[in-house]
Amino acid sequence: MKTSKKRFLGAVALIIIWSVAALIVDDEIILPSFIAVFKRIALMIQSHTLQPAILKTTVRILVGVLISIIFGNILSYVSYKFKLKEYLEPLFSILRTIPVISIVLIVLFFAEKNLLSIIVVIFVTLPIVYENVYNSLTNINKGKLELAAVYELKSFTVFRYIELPAIVKSTLMSLRIALGLSFKAGATSEVVSGATGGLGELMYISKLSFDMPELIAITFIVIILSFIFEMIAGFLYKRTLKIYD
């Protein structure tokens, strides 16, 4: 059986379990049914409250991811070229281990609330991009580099044909990991900071009004967005493998 079919069956099984549990609980405030959540999503789309929130949250998160890609690639390449890995390791060790909620609360003291999710996403994804790209560069086939040295290829040529493919592939691979974390961290930071216009604000409002169907509906949307962008990153990664391999 293909992996996609297995995943589909797994999703169907989860929906069935959810539906049965909702019937047993029989209390929408505690556990709304899948149908109730789906209807709420449709209602939010119809009332045009969901689309702008999705757009704002997605833009904030993608801006943070883009900044992480830029600085992650620069730092990893500089570390690779100038042997700075050990010097930067304390910084990235802290970034890898610090709890997301701590980042949110600390940054909230200094940053404007609508920028918080961008900054938090940078903190979360930067170490992932940095580590993946750096490891990819250090694992470049030594034979290729030796051959380039023998033929005295220019630095730009080495970068374009040997180092750049490794950077691109590892960046896309890191995105497959980082995007899911980014949407979770971004949504969390929006809720805590009270950022306006995003999915986090809708979550917070639904929490205050004890509207569990809407809260789960928005959570479901965040999961779907994360899944979609992970799929896009995976598709681009596979395409890149075909181009460079």
Over residues 28-80, the pLDDT tens digits come to: 888 898 888 999 999 999 988 899 999 999 999 999 999 999 999 999 999 99
More confident residue, 133 or 244: 133
Over residues 96-118, the pLDDT tens digits come to: 888 888 888 888 888 888 888 99
Place of tokens 């609980």: 25
The pLDDT score that the predictor gives to residue 18 is 84
Closest CA to 32 of 245, 226, 218: 218
Q: Give the list of residues 6+ apart from residue 237 with CB closer than 8 angstroms, or none.
A: 169, 172, 173, 175, 176
Over residues 198-243, the pLDDT tens digits come to: 999 999 999 888 889 999 999 999 999 998 988 888 888 888 877 7
pLDDT band per the 50, 70, 90 thresholds, residue 2: low
Assigned CATH for 49-244: 1.10.3720.10
Distance CA 174, CA 241 (A): 14
Over residues 146-157, the pLDDT tens digits come to: 888 888 888 888
The pLDDT score that the predictor gives to residue 11 is 81
pTM for the predicted model, two decimal places: 0.89
Distance CA 12, CA 34 (A): 11
Do 145 and 91 meet the contact criterion of CB atoms below 8 Å apart?
no
- How many beta carbons lie within 10 A of that of residue 50, not counting itself? 21
